[in-house]
Structure 1
C-alpha cells in the first residue's frame, strides 16, 4: 500500500461501469485527459493494463474484475459511515440526551423541554447531571454530556462554544402572610430582616452575593444552605426572606404560599447560556437539541 493512491480506484470503477473513458469523465465530473492520466497511473501501480479497448468499449481484464467489488464496497462504506450527513430524526430517535443543569436550571428548563420532547421526539429522554467545573469540561469534550445549560462561567476555553438564551435577575421571596405588604423593599427593611441564603458554589447565586460584597452590604443570615428546594418551605413557615433568581422565585410562588417583592438594589442581570464542545458543533442530535432550547427559551 505504500505510495498507492486510493483516489485512483473510483476512476477504475467508473470506467468499468461506463465502459469508456469519456463516460467515466462525465460521471466523475473530471476532464477526459485527467481520467486517462489517472488510468495510466493505476496501470503502472498494479502492473496490469486493466482495460483493453474493444468494439464494445473498454473491456476489463481479470485483474480489474478483482478490484470492482472491493472498491464498490469500500466507497459505499465511506459514503455511509464517513461522509454521510449527521442528520437527526427526532420523531424516530431513542436518544438519551445528557444535560448539565443546576437545581435552578432543572426548575427553569426541564418542564418545557420535556414537553417539547414529548411532542417532537417521544422516544428521546433526558438525564440531568451536576458536575464540578473541571469534570464537566472533560465530560463535554468526551461526549458524555451533550450540553451545559445555565450559568457556567468556567466554560470559557476556546474549545467550548456558547449561546445566550436569556438574561436573569433576582427577586426576594417572603411568606404569603408576612406583615410587609409593599412591592419593593427598602434597604433599611432588607437589612432588618433575617435571611435564608443559598450558597451553591459556582452558580448564579454568586452574582448576587458578589454584589453585596462590592457594596459592603452585610445581612443577618439565619439559615445558610447549598440547596434551593427547601427554600420555599422554609420561607412559607417563617418570617425570613430569601433572594433568588427571578424564574426560581416565580416557580416557588406557583406551588408554595410565598410572595415576591423587589430587592432594594438594582441587580445587573446575568446571562443563562447553553455550552457545547466544538467537536460536536456539527453533530445532528446536538444541533437539534440546541435549536430546541433556542426555540423554547431564546430571547
Structure 2
C-alpha cells in the first residue's frame, strides 16, 4: 500500500469504461504512452494483465471485472466526501454549536439567537461555555468553541477572525423611584451614593473600573458580587447604584423596577464582536451561524481579520 500510486485508480477506471487506451488518455489529459506506462505498473502491482488487447480495443480480465465496483466506489467516495464542499441545510442539519459568552453576554445575545435557531434550524442544539480568557484561544483552535461572542480583547493574532457587531456604552442603574431619577445623576451623587460593583468574568466591567481609577473617582463600594443575576433585584430594593453595559440595563429593566441614567462622567465605549478561528472560516455551519448573529445584532457587516 505504501508504494501504490492512487492515480492508477483513475487510469483503471478510464480504461474500464472506454476499453481503449487513446480514449482513456484523452479523458485523463495524458499521453497514450503515459496511460500504457500506468497500465504496466497496475499489472505489476496487482499481478494480473487486467486489460488485454482485442481487435476493437482492450477487454477487461475477470480480475478487472471484479475490481470495477470497488474502484467505482472508491472514486465516488472521493468525489462526494473529499472533492465536494460540504453544505449546511439549516432546516435538516443536526449539529451542536458551542458558543463562548460571559453570563452577561448570555443575557444580551442568547434569547434572540435561540429564537432564530428554533425557527430556522430546529434540529440544531446550542451549548454555551464561560471560558477563562487565557484558555479561549486554545479552545477555538481545537474547535471546542465555534464562536466567541462579546467583549474579548485578548483574542488577537492572524489565526483569529473577528467581526464587529455594535458599539456599546455604559449606564447607571437605580431603583425606579430613586430621588436622583428626576434630575439626573451628578458627580457628587455618584461619589456619595452606595454602589454595587460586579466582578464577573466578563471583561467589559474592567473598562469601568480602570476608567474610574484613572480619573481618581472615589465611591462607596457597598456591595461586591461576582454575579449579575442578583443585581437588578438588589438595585430595585435599595438606594445602591450600579454601572453596567447599556444592553444589560435594557434586559434588567424588563424584570425589575429599575431606571437607567446617563453616568455623570464620559465613560468609554467598546465594540462587541464575534470571533472565530481560521480553521472554521469556511465551515458551512459556522458561516451560517455567523450570518445569523450578524443579522440579529450587527450595525454593519464589515468582517476583518486581526
Structure 1: give runs of 5+ residues left out of the alignment: none
1:40, CA displacement in angstroms? 4.7
1:171, CA displacement in angstroms? 0.8
Tell me, yes or no, if the aligned pair for 1:162 and 1:274 is still in contact at 8 Å. Answer: yes
Q: TM-score, normalised by structure 2?
A: 0.88
Matching of residue 16 in structure 1 with residue 23 in structure 2: no
Distance of 2:75 and 2:183 partners within structure 1: 69
Tell me, yes or no, if the aligned pair for 2:102 and 2:202 is still in contact at 8 Å. Answer: no
Name which of structure 1's ranges 217-226 and 196-205 shifts more when overlaid on structure 2.
Answer: 196-205
**Offset from partner CA, 1:47-66 (integer Å, 9 cap, x none):** 65432332333212344334
Name which of structure 1's ranges 262-271 and 70-79 shifts more when overlaid on structure 2.
Answer: 70-79
1:106, CA displacement in angstroms? 0.8
What is residue 205 of structure 1 aligned with on the other side? Answer: 205
Distance of 2:18 and 2:121 partners within structure 1: 44
What is residue 291 of structure 2 aligned with on the other side? Answer: 291
Counterparts in 2 of 1:131-150, with a 5 A limit?
Answer: 131-150=131-150
1:251, CA displacement in angstroms? 1.2
1:27, CA displacement in angstroms? 3.9
Matching of residue 255 in structure 1 with residue 255 in structure 2: yes
1:26, CA displacement in angstroms? 4.7
Tell me, yes or no, if the aligned pair for 1:182 and 1:261 is still in contact at 8 Å. Answer: no
Name which of structure 1's ranges 245-254 and 119-128 shifts more when overlaid on structure 2.
Answer: 119-128
Distance of 1:179 and 1:221 partners within structure 2: 19
What is residue 232 of structure 1 aligned with on the other side? Answer: 232
Structure 2: give runs of 5+ residues left out of the alignment: 300-306
Counterparts in 2 of 1:181-200, with a 5 A limit?
Answer: 181-182=181-182, 184-200=184-200
What is residue 76 of structure 2 aligned with on the other side? Answer: 76
Tell me, yes or no, if the aligned pair for 1:183 and 1:262 is still in contact at 8 Å. Answer: no
Distance of 1:120 and 1:22 partners within structure 2: 52
Tell me, yes or no, if the aligned pair for 2:103 and 2:202 is still in contact at 8 Å. Answer: no
Counterparts in 2 of 1:260-275, with a 5 A limit?
Answer: 260-275=260-275
Distance of 2:156 and 2:116 partners within structure 1: 29
Distance of 2:293 and 2:189 partners within structure 1: 39
Matching of residue 57 in structure 1 with residue 57 in structure 2: yes
Distance of 1:38 and 1:217 partners within structure 2: 81
Query: For 1:92, what is the secondary structure of its paired residue?
Result: coil
Distance of 2:121 and 2:242 partners within structure 1: 38
Q: 1:183 to 1:51 in 2, by over 3 A?
A: farther
What is residue 155 of structure 1 aligned with on the other side? Answer: 155
Name which of structure 1's ranges 283-292 and 134-143 shifts more when overlaid on structure 2.
Answer: 134-143
1:240, CA displacement in angstroms? 1.1
Matched pairs, number: 299
Tell me, yes or no, if the aligned pair for 1:232 and 1:256 is still in contact at 8 Å. Answer: yes
1:283, CA displacement in angstroms? 1.9
Q: TM-score, normalised by structure 1?
A: 0.90
What is residue 98 of structure 2 aligned with on the other side? Answer: 98
What is residue 177 of structure 2 aligned with on the other side? Answer: 177
What is residue 221 of structure 2 aligned with on the other side? Answer: 221
Distance of 2:34 and 2:215 partners within structure 1: 74
**Offset from partner CA, 1:164-219 (integer Å, 9 cap, x none):** 22121111111100111357533222112111111124521111111112222222
Distance of 2:9 and 2:180 partners within structure 1: 82
Q: 1:249 to 1:183 in 2, by over 3 A?
A: farther
